[in-house]
Amino acid sequence: MGTIYVTGHRNPDLDSVCSAYGYAQLMNLQDPDNKYIPVRCGHLSDSTRNILEQLDIDIPEYMRDVYPKVSDVMLRADHRIDADDPLTAVAAIYEKNTPSAIPVYEKDDFYGLLTVDDITNWTMRELSRDNKITSIPSVRQIMSKQGPTLDVHDLFDDAKVMLQSAGNRGLAVYDENGYAGFVTRRCFLNIPRYNVILVDHNESNQSIRGIETANIVGIIDHHRLDAIKTDQPIFICAEPLGSTCTLVYQQYIRNNRTPDPVTAKVLLTGLISDTLILKSPTTTGEDVVAAHVLASICRIDLDKYGLSMFSQVEGMSERDPKDAILSDFKTYTQNGVRIGIGQCEVTTLNDLSDYRDTYESTLNDVKTMQGLDWAVLMITDVIHEHSALLCTDHRGNRFLPYKALDKNLFDMPDVMSRKKQLLPEIIHAVGE
């Protein structure tokens, strides 16, 4: 039985977390021989966490990276040798297999590793002395100096180098509770690889750290394709729909299954969030159909649920400006101009003047910090389908087709989508 992790992108949003959850659920039904675990590779914003907490599910756990670690190759002995046992006690173990290291205990505590080198060295020493072995020593008596110890979380590559340079046959491994196991050179012959399914992204720089060392076994996504090369043929489902959760829903249908009411609500949550209650121009007919079916499965009123979801999103004045700007911030390079575009969702633009100055100065800090030429923040009122655009000083501001409300602030009625509506205008402006 294998483990397959299903992860969305960094800075996880609701579509990422909900599609990972829904797809792992489906795959656990489809392929019970393997275990599919939804994870997230970044921390949740407060509002994303709040909404997930109301869904009655175990929120996918944070997974830092998929680099292979010592814990993935570590051995645990199925026998127990005490430091005061005679060396002959070891013979019984060698009858069954020939380990190059054996953990040794002193009563209940781990004492050290007895290696095959210790046994050989002692035997050779005895034989060279008078050509026959007269007394049997205890295990403790022949154990040589111990090498450095490893931690279960140490990276495979680092541990391999450490074992090689230590010149020992094996090294002991510890975790937070003490001795956990040991590794020998044989553990490092093959590098273990994590199995990962990517949802809501396919680019390695947006994925979980260490993805380049992993085995990608599937991709479900609705973004542009800039995927990683794979060794094996894999399942890819990529369509320009409004939400990855719609694609996951369609996989249920394709496999003749219906999501249970809890999963339906999870998928609906990601779908409503990514399509801004089906109002974003990225929304397709398939998103609309999926949303209505999912809403009927979990028996909730789609619009009411959408509004209640977005009303839980904190207002701009209550959020930390830097966190708010960076929570959904994408960078692009066009004609040598480095541009950063953030987007925040709100339920009204009436309080814009309260926070505009603070956000403008923070936007300037972000621009400097990230080495950008031009940073803009799109503040989208999802209820009234209306955005405002806050910009840092840049010549491109003059070429934007929007009405200026003030210096560096523009009005964008009916604009909801960064990728479909704003980005083309920004690219045009830097080309002027």
Given the rule CB under 5 A, which of 240-248, 341-349, 386-394, 416-424 is the region that contacts Mn ion? 240-248
Rounded distance between C-alpha atoms, residue 389 and residue 359, angstroms = 11
Burial bucket for residue 305 (CB in 10 Å: 0-12, 13-18, 19+) = middle
Min CB(116)–Mn ion separation in Å = 54
Determine the size of the site formed for Mn ion (CB under 5 A). 4
Calculate the alpha carbon distances from 346 to 17, 242, 375 in Å. 21, 19, 19
Given the rule CB under 5 A, which of 84-92, 178-186, 193-201, 277-285 is the region that contacts Mn ion? 193-201
Min CB(223)–Mn ion separation in Å = 7
Rounded distance between C-alpha atoms, residue 380 and residue 412, angstroms = 9
Min CB(71)–Mn ion separation in Å = 32
Given the rule CB under 5 A, which of 178-186, 195-203, 251-259, 330-338 is the region that contacts Mn ion? 195-203
Min CB(14)–Mn ion separation in Å = 9
Nearer to Mn ion, 160 or 201 (CB): 201
Q: Is 221 in the site for Mn ion (CB under 5 A)?
A: no
Nearer to Mn ion, 200 or 345 (CB): 200
DSSP 419: I
393: amino acid identity, one letter? D
CB 248 within 8 A of CB 259: no
Burial bucket for residue 281 (CB in 10 Å: 0-12, 13-18, 19+) = middle
Angle among Cα 18, 22, 24 to the nearest 5 degrees reads 115
Nearer to Mn ion, 244 or 380 (CB): 244
Nearer to Mn ion, 14 or 163 (CB): 14
* N- to C-terminal Cα separation, the chain: 57
Q: How many CB atoms lie within 10 A of CB 236?
A: 15
Residue selected from 12, 15, 21, 297 as contacting Mn ion according to rule CB under 5 A: 15
> Nearest-CB residue to Mn ion?
15
Residue selected from 118, 154, 200, 287 as contacting Mn ion according to rule CB under 5 A: 200
Binding mask 289-308 for Mn ion (x = CB under 5 A): --------------------
Min CB(200)–Mn ion separation in Å = 4
Backbone angle region of 278, left / alpha / beta, with phi > 0 → left and psi within -120 to 50 → alpha? left
Task: For residue 337, give the 3-state DSSP assignment.
Answer: strand
Nearer to Mn ion, 200 or 360 (CB): 200
CB 31 within 8 A of CB 195: no
Min CB(237)–Mn ion separation in Å = 13
| Ordered alpha helix ranges (H), 34-172 | 46-53, 70-73, 88-96, 116-130, 139-142, 156-166
Nearer to Mn ion, 343 or 392 (CB): 343
Nearer to Mn ion, 182 or 252 (CB): 252
Nearer to Mn ion, 225 or 369 (CB): 225
Rounded distance between C-alpha atoms, residue 246 and residue 230, angstroms = 25
Binding mask 250-289 for Mn ion (x = CB under 5 A): ------------------------x---------------
Rounded distance between C-alpha atoms, residue 251 and residue 223, angstroms = 17
Nearer to Mn ion, 70 or 272 (CB): 272
Nearer to Mn ion, 224 or 395 (CB): 224
Given the rule CB under 5 A, which of 110-118, 190-198, 236-244, 389-397 is the region that contacts Mn ion? 236-244
Site for Mn ion in 36-55 (CB under 5 A): none
Place of tokens 């990972």: 20
Min CB(221)–Mn ion separation in Å = 8
Rg, C-alpha atoms of the chain? 29
Q: How many CB atoms lie within 10 A of CB 190?
A: 9
Q: Would you state the structure tokens that stand for residue 300, as one six-digit string?
A: 């909730």
Binding site for Mn ion (CB under 5 A): 15, 200, 244, 274
